[in-house]
Amino acid sequence: MVVNPENGAVESFINVKDLRNEIPNWDKDNNVLNGIAYRNETGKFYVTGKRWNTLFEIELQ
């Protein structure tokens, strides 16, 4: 979700479910997205998950 920091309103959603296709041995019960970070200097997001062996760098358009 994209949350407005001024008022807490949800402004939009970001769907990253297709990233799971990039995770070897995907287990739908245990491999869930649970890590998101943003780097202001580059405008990029970093996404990982529970039991993922991969860190994804994504840029929103």
Identity of the amino acid at 18: D
Provide long-range contacts, Cβ within 8 A and 24+ apart, for 38-43: none
Identity of the amino acid at 25: N
Mean pLDDT on 24-53: 84
pLDDT at residue 4 tops 80: yes
Q: Domain limits of the chain?
A: 2-59
pLDDT of residue 11: 93
Q: How many degrees, rounded to 5, is the angle at CA 55 between CA 53 and CA 27?
A: 45
Whole-prediction pTM: 0.69
